[in-house]
Amino acid sequence: MRAKWSYILICVGLLLTQAVTPVYAAGAVNGDGLMSVSPTSATYGSSGNTFTFTFTADNDFPNGSQVQLTIPAGWTPPISTVGAGRVSVNAGTCSLIGSPLFAIAGSTIMVDIDSCLSGQSFTITYSGVTIPAPSVSPYSFTTMTDIPGGDGLYEIFSGSPTVTADPKPITVSAAGLTPNNKAYDGNTTATITLGSPSLTAADIVSGDVVSLDTTGPITASFADRNAGTGKTVAISGLGLSGANASRYTLIAPTRTANITPLSITVTAVADSKVYDGSTSSTGVPTLSPGTPLIAPDVEPAWTQTFNNKNAGTGKSLTPAGAVDDGNGGLNYSYNFVPNTTGAITQLPIIVNAVTDTKTYDGSTASSGLPLLDAVTPLAAGDTEPAWTQTFDTKNAGAGKTLTPAGLINDGNGGNNYSYTYTPDLTGLITIRPVTIQADAKSKPIGSPDPILTYHATSGSLATGDTLTLIRASGETPGLYAVSINIFPASANYDLTYIAANLTITPILTFKSQAANDGWILERTQASGLGGTKNSTDTTFQLGDDSAKRQYRGILSFNTGSLPDGAVIQSAVIKIKQSGAPVGANPFNVLGKLMVDVRKGTFGASTLAVTDFQAAPSASQAGTFGKTPIAGWYGVTLNLSGRNNVNTMGLTQFRLYFSKSTNNDAIANLMKFLSGNSASGQPQLIIKYTLP
């Protein structure tokens, strides 16, 4: 009360200093006002709590009024500094006196009002609070008001605010209380291995005496009856004991355990069917009676399927299904026992050949398309192939048998079906018209016959069919008729044959005479006159020497053995290279290798230096090819050259490059075998005819 009177004296002093005395609508009396608190409850032993008290004027509080809030015994004492129990005041819509806006005396907080009209409010914050032990009744935070000239402080008429200290939740430590796993049995009952459970020490306020009461009875139950792992098990029947047990509330512990699916055996039954393109089976698997289902679970409509859709025996049938247990069948583990005696038989179908007619083509192929009999349709998903059919033989004839073939596209090579192939007996193969013309052939007398050939001028022979030709016998020059020798398939053809002849052509080969051939070297450069000769060496040479003189060669053939009146068809001279070129290849640097013809001899029959420049009967009668064949160079004489071959005696030829020299002062020449050589002598090959 001393504090109150001090406060009153202060208020009186203040009133004396006011210039104007306020006028209030409704003056408050001692005990007026409303006080609320937030929050209205807190947990025992918790610290750092903050409570906000809001005072609202229900009438006008004049200058000099006071509001007091007393903290209950056992609560953190209020202080005005930083720390546990700190108090602060926010004037809100009221006008308060002092700095700070409150005073503390013991456990009482006092707030002096300058003016707080009806409906206006201010707040008191009480923070850093540790909650005391729960009590039978909530803790009352006594609120009193006083106005100047009144009868003193009165507790507010509406009642002081209260805060409930809730018991502190406490948990059971992890050790002990181990629920046991079990197999699915249709209920939630769980069993517990008690062990040595205890309260969580961290949850107990220092100094309190409280312990776990396990005298029970202790029960446990799974959250639901269904199989699963890590399922929650709720444990009940535990309690608290000890002098301070009432300050706590036990949180019923939970643990986890497993409900394993109940194992059952389902066995497939034997089944057989005709192929239908599916793996379905009409057999109904059976549940082993050794492990009955848990009520109220019921069996499903068990099914079974073949291991594949294809026809065969010893097929595996595998059961399937899940028990109607309200958990998608997951409360059971299934041992599905297959049956390996299943059978799918082939589906019989009929394929009918159709009539067909064709011209003989050497094969049994038919363009007709067999038809699938509509009596037995194919299984869904399977398709017809491109059916084929064939004649019984390739030969022409009527009343031929046509036999169908083909396999259904069923993903099993057609083996899901058994096939009845019905033949057609009205097939017809007509004979094949063709005109064959023999090819005219010729050969030189004494040489082997060429291969006799033919070609079709109308129609053709069927693939694989051939015929052979034969000529009339004889080996003297002349014409020999070519006729058909062997034609195995003749009965299948309407054959028109156009004959031809083999001509045996006379041909003679002459070799150059050793004494009359050889080389001649020009006397001097560009003189055009012979200088030296050689008719005894086994080679002759063509080109130039280092003095830029030209080499020419003379070949001499005795062609007098040709028949009188012979008409020369062709004449070829062949010379054979001997060794590598000296210097540059003359074919590359001296132009073309030319040949002149002399009907008879250029002078005397034997080689003479004048043969170098003697006049020929035919000049430049041919040009040798630059590329040898097996070492031989050849030239075919033109008409002028052929006409000057002497049928009465010697014919001589002069060989030379078109450029006498390339002026490089280096010998550029090539050697060829002469008539003196033991082999490879120059040759003159003449084909002729007689009038």
Q: What angle do CA 289, 290, 294 make, to 5 degrees?
A: 80
**Do both 516 and 412 map to the same domain?**
no
Residues 222 and 233 in one domain: yes
Give dist(CA 600, CA 647) in Å, integer: 10
Weakly modelled stretches of the chain, pLDDT under 70: 1-26
Asked if 557 and 586 sit in the same domain, the reply is yes
607: closest CA among 656, 649, 554, 645?
554
What's the domain count of the chain?
6
pLDDT of 533 reads 97
pLDDT at residue 68, as a whole number: 98
Residue 235 is predicted with a pLDDT of 96
- Shared domain for 537 and 604, answered yes or no, is yes
318 and 390 share a domain? no
To the nearest 10°, the Cα dihedral for 203, 209, 211, 215? -150
| Same domain assignment for residues 157 and 190 | no
Q: Which two tokens stand for residue 364?
A: 């049994």
Query: 200, 171 in Cβ contact below 8 A?
Result: yes
Report angle CA 123, 125, 131 to the nearest 5 degrees: 135
Amino acid letter, 535: S
What per-residue confidence (pLDDT) applies to 175? 87
Q: How big is the chain by its Cα radius of gyration, in Å? A: 67
For residues 236 and 271, membership in a common domain is answered with no
Same domain, 355 and 366: yes
Same domain for 142 and 251 = no
- For the chain, the distance separating the N- and C-terminal CA atoms, rounded to the nearest angstrom, is 175
Give the DSSP H or E segment for 642.
helix 639-643
624 and 650 both lie in a single domain: yes
Q: Which residues pair with 493 in a beta bridge?
A: 432
Which amino acid appears at position 456 of this protein?
A
- The reply to whether 269 and 338 lie within a common domain is yes
CATH of the domain at 599: 2.60.120
Read off the tokens for 653. 């030829």
Identify the domain boundary among 324, 345, 366: 345
Residue 17 has a pLDDT of 34
Rounded to whole angstroms, how far apart are CA atoms 214 and 645? 144
Helix (H, G, I), strand (E, B) or coil at 490: helix
CATH number of the domain that 154 lies in? 2.60.40.740
* CA dist 400 → 80, 115, 365, 490 (Å): 127, 132, 12, 19
- Stretch (H or E) spanning 13: helix 2-17
CA gap 421, 390 in Å, rounded: 12
**Residue at which a domain ends, from 389, 404, 430:** 430
Boundary-marking domain end, from 205, 238, 260: 260
pLDDT reported for residue 495: 97
Which domain range does residue 470 map to?
A: 433-505
Specify whether the backbone of 230 is left (phi greater than 0), alpha (psi in -120 to 50) or beta.
left
Whether residues 494 and 568 share a domain: the answer is: no
CA dihedral for 147, 153, 159, 165, sign (positive or negative)? positive
